[in-house]
Amino acid sequence: MLINADYEQKYHQVQGVELEEDEFDTYKDNTGKIQSVRRFTWRNSKGVSVQVITYGATITSIRLPDKNDTTDDIVMGFDDMKGYLNPLNPYFGATVGRVANRIGNAQINIDGEIYKVTANLGKHTLHGGKIGFDKVNWNHYVSGTKVILSYLSKDLEEGFPGDVITSVEYQLTDDNRFLVEFKSTSSKPTYVNLTNHSYFNLAGHDTGATEVYKHLISINADYTTDVDENSIPSGKLLPVSDTIFDLRIPKVLGNVINKIPNYLGYDHNFCVTKGSTQENTFVSRAYHPPSGRVMEIYSNQPGVQFYTSNHIPEDPKEFKGDQKDLQKLTGKGGAHYYKHGSFCFETQNYPDAINHKKFPPAVLYPGNKYHHTVEYRFFIKQA
């Protein structure tokens, strides 16, 4: 029997890491064309595996052993394209762009020229608009055990100026590091701010808020960006000292998450305290004592959005309204995902940076390159 070369499994192996490529699923795009979604699975000699799909350049699975050699999947996701196409999907694992986070009043100012971009959060813009980078099927290329995904965002897509070519490179190493590198170039001055939107629970993706609350969380930040009730920055930076946002010393998440005034939990940009070089800086650390799993994140970006899944539907046991109004978000293996059942560390520029002169530069000019690196380090703490 002949096998179509586009769909057969392909294997690559380099220095203790194996990469497998196959088909994840198919879906019908907005032109009616059937698209094949490719899946890439890395496995290293330490028992760690990671999966990424071409749709949304999305991380769908990260499996890690714990201190008792029990392996669990620690990121939220879905088993098929039906889940990723579900309007309730809160960007699970996706590459978010052209601009991650909020843009106030769906308007950007580039060198005095005003552009209106797509509003999809009331009058504001969130995560690139209605059809952001998370909702397209990326091209793919494999080099050894590196996977490079690419996408061309055309001029005025979602209102943003310039043809922007973006690539995301993924690689798992044999010492339990998962490396992500974003690059973009543009034909016109434009606004680019990318991130990966993985939702983590080091106890396992299906263990819920009870286990999330046991995590010790630390973030290397002396300031946060001040925001209004719609999470739109005012342009001010607020010191974290003597506040619930001081996570420079590890805090048990369950002891602090419900103390944030007027908020459902954390959904804030922390201003990373950078080192003296342009190399990756330590950003954040999550430790789940019962499993011993630890995740550290390093990046070259000035900020990180810490988000505790506040807007995922509530657990029926906690929901105070009419149960018929309760929406359910069903993930991998039939698991139900609920509010506070996971958390995100989204490395990025400060939100709405294009509209605040005191924030880090946000304009990508022709001839320059947007370059964003992030490194996830995983290890086990026995004690």
Same domain, 83 and 152: yes
Residue 191 sits in the same domain as residue 255: no
Q: Domain check: are 146 and 288 in the same one? A: no
Residues 188 and 234 in one domain: no
pLDDT recorded at residue 324: 62
Q: Is residue 131 part of a domain?
A: yes
Condensed to tens digits (0 to 9), the pLDDT of residues 276-296 reads 666 799 999 999 999 999 999
Cα end-to-end span (Å), the chain:
54
Closest listed residue to residue 215, CA positions, set 295, 105, 130:
295
> What pLDDT was estimated at residue 5?
40
In this structure, is residue 4 part of a structural domain? no
15 and 82 share a domain? yes
Q: What residues in the chain have per-residue pLDDT under 50?
A: 1-7
The reported pLDDT for the residue numbered 327 is 74
Which position has the token pair 């430790």? 287
Asked whether residue 311 is domain-assigned, the answer is yes
Point out the catalytic residue in the list 124, 197, 215, 340. Answer: 197
Q: Would you say residue 25 lies in a domain?
A: yes
> DSSP readout, 188-256?
SSEE-B-EE---B-TT-TTSHHHHHTT-EEEE-EEEEEEE-TTS-EEEEEEE-TTSTT--SS-EEHHHH
Domain that holds residue 349: 208-369
- Residues sharing a CB contact under 8 Å with residue 301, sequence separation 6 or more, in sequence order: 272, 283, 347, 348, 349, 372, 374
Task: For residue 230, give every residue at least 6 positions away whose Cβ sits within 8 Å of its Cβ, in sequence order, or none.
Answer: 102, 121, 122, 124
What integer pLDDT is reported at residue 320 of this predicted model? 64
Given CA atoms 123, 127, 129, 130 in this order, what sign does their dihedral have?
Answer: negative
Summarize pLDDT for 92-118 with one digit per residue, the tens: 999 999 999 999 999 999 999 999 999
Whole-Å CA distances, 179 to 100, 138, 193, 275, 327 = 19, 18, 18, 20, 35
User: If you search the block for the tokens 């939100």, which residue do you land on?
Assistant: 351
Residue 348 falls inside a structural domain:
yes
Residue 375 falls inside a structural domain: no
Same domain, 43 and 180: yes
Q: Are residues 257 and 317 in the same domain?
A: yes
Question: Is 346 part of the annotated catalytic residue set?
Answer: yes
Same domain, 243 and 191: no
Note the pLDDT of residue 12: 83
Give the total residue count for the chain.
Answer: 383
Task: Read off φ and ψ for residue 311, nearest 5 degrees.
Answer: -105, 5
Element (H, E) at 84: helix 81-85
Residues 191 and 334 grouped into a single domain: no
- The pLDDT assigned to 318 comes to 67
Residue set of the binding site for beta-D-galactose: 101-102, 197-199, 267
Binding-site positions read 101-102, 197-199, 267
Which one of the listed residues 157, 158, 296, 346 is annotated catalytic?
346
How many structural domains compose the chain?
2
- Same-domain pairing of 187 and 237: no
Residue 381 lies in a domain: no
pLDDT at 334: 95
Residue 41, in any domain of the structure: yes
Q: Are residues 220 and 361 in the same domain?
A: yes
Model pLDDT, residue 278: 65
Domain at 324, CATH number: 2.70.98.10
